[in-house]
């Protein structure tokens, strides 16, 4: 009898998005700022992909293009099977509402709404009924550890708790793609770690993809893969946590 076949290495998870050859410049022709210069980037389902690089290297611009809020000057953006360059403005808005959850550096909470109402906003925008939206908002708030705080105004909660409200709001409509722009930069080290643990747990879902932009080495160890960016382009992709640790020994 033939010897059993040696197992192959597992196949990589499917791509959630692939960006190729992106260019983007701002300003008038005589004083242009090049933000992206032939940037290539991809992210897979079931992973936390980190995008790192110094301030001004183009990270936020790249995120704005992959979420369809900004048009690239050149290049291709395929996100969740959609070629963003071919979608109308209305289709892009719908695509964002249905498939993307955003988490910003400064939380962007609405002060006049309660905690649960803030979280319910994406559902209400999608046309979900108020009772159902409230139920789903309260359920996700419990999941991020904010049970009992749902009816308070956000400003009564600490910075870390406010970031968790923002995370609950980004996740409440079960988006495929969760996009975080420097989610821990306004937080102390311990709270930042709690936020990253929460994001990591969502990235373990093989139907989801979490992209985290950062220049904070304290959170590099939460990445499954890491793309390093400099002067508007991706200069290196570290494909495993071991490769990330080897390239950034101080983490």
Ligand X SMILES: Nc1ncnc2c1ncn2[C@@H]1O[C@H](COP(=O)(O)OP(=O)(O)O)[C@@H](O)[C@H]1O
Query: Residue 60 CB, nearest distance to ligand X (Å)?
Result: 3
Exactly one of 17, 52, 57, 219 binds ligand X (CB under 6 A); which one?
A: 57
Among 13, 21, 37, 60, the residue binding ligand X under the rule CB under 6 A is 60
Q: Quick check: 35 binds ligand X (CB under 6 A)?
A: yes
User: What's the Cα-to-Cα distance from 249 to each of 54, 120, 223, 227, 242, rounded to whole Å?
Assistant: 18, 41, 14, 16, 10
Looking at the Cβ atoms of 12 and 54, the one nearer to ligand X is: 54
User: What is the Cα–Cα distance from 174 to 191, expressed in whole angstroms?
Assistant: 24
Q: Which of 14, 20, 32, 33 binds ligand X (CB under 6 A)?
A: 33
Smallest gap from Cβ 100 to ligand X, in A, equals: 18
Residue 55 binds ligand X (CB under 6 A) = yes
Q: Does 61 bind ligand X (CB under 6 A)?
A: yes
Q: Residue 183, Cβ neighbours under 10 Å: how many?
A: 28
Q: How far apart are CA 164 and CA 169, in angstroms?
A: 8
DSSP string, 43-98: EETT-EEEEE--TTSSHHHHHHHHTTSS--SEEEEEETTEEGGGS-HHHHHHHHHH
Answer for which of 60, 143, 185, 200 binds Mg ion (CB under 5 A) is: 60
Comparing CA positions, the residue from 85, 49, 36 lying closest to residue 211 is: 49
x/- site string to ligand X, residues 94 to 133, per CB under 6 A? ----------------------------------------
Cα Rg of the chain, angstroms: 19
User: Residues 105, 195: contact at Cβ < 8 Å?
Assistant: no
Q: Does 56 bind ligand X (CB under 6 A)?
A: yes
Q: Which stretch binds ligand X (CB under 6 A): 8-16, 53-61, 146-154, 197-205?
A: 53-61
**In the structure encoding, which two tokens stand for residue 229, read together?**
């960016």
User: Is residue 12 near ligand X by the rule CB under 6 A?
Assistant: no
Question: What is the contact surface with ligand X in residues (CB under 6 A)?
Answer: 26-27, 33, 35, 53, 55-61
């Amino acid at each position: 009898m033939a010897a059993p076949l040696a197992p192959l290495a597992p196949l990589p998870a499917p791509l959630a998005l692939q960006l190729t050859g992106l260019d983007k410049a701002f300003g008038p022709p005589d004083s242009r700022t090049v933000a992206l210069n032939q940037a290539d980037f991809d992210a897979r389902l079931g992973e936390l992909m980190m995008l790192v690089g110094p301030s001004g290297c183009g990270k936020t611009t790249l995120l704005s293009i992959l979420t369809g809020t900004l048009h690239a000057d050149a290049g291709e953006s395929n996100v969740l099977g959609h070629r963003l360059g071919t979608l109308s403005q209305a289709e892009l808005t719908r695509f964002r509402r249905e498939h993307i959850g955003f988490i910003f550096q400064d939380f962007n909470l609405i002060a006049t709404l309660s905690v649960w109402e803030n979280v319910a906003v994406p559902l209400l925008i999608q046309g979900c009924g108020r009772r159902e939206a409230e139920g789903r908002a309260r359920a996700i708030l419990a999941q991020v550890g904010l049970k009992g705080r749902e009816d308070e105004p956000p400003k009564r909660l600490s910075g870390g708790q406010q970031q968790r409200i923002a995370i609950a709001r980004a996740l409440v409509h079960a988006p495929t793609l969760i996009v975080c722009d420097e989610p821990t930069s306004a937080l102390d080290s311990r709270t930042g770690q709690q936020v990253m643990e929460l994001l990591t747990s969502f990235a373990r879902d093989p139907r989801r993809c979490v992209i985290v932009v950062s220049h904070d080495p304290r959170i590099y160890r939460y990445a499954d893969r890491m793309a390093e960016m400099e002067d508007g382009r991706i200069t290196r992709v570290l494909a495993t946590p071991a490769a990330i640790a080897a390239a950034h020994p101080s983490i």
